[in-house]
Amino acid sequence: MINIRKAELEDLNSTVSIFEQYRHFYQCENNIALATNFIQTRIEQQESVIFIAEDSMQGNTVIGFVQLYPLFSSTGLKKLWLLNDLFVDANYRKQGIAEKLIENAKELAKQTSARGLVLETSASNLPAQALYEKIGFSKSQSFYYELDL
End-to-end CA distance of the chain, in Å? 44
Contact at 8 Å (CB) between 71 and 118?
A: yes
**Predicted pLDDT of residue 21:** 96
The SS3 call for residue 119 is strand
Q: What is the pLDDT of residues 64-122, one digit of tens each?
A: 999 999 999 999 999 999 999 999 999 999 999 999 999 999 999 999 999 999 999 88
Q: What is the mean pLDDT of the chain?
A: 95
Contact at 8 Å (CB) between 80 and 72?
A: yes
Given a cut of 80, is residue 17 above it in pLDDT? yes
Query: pTM of the prediction?
Result: 0.93
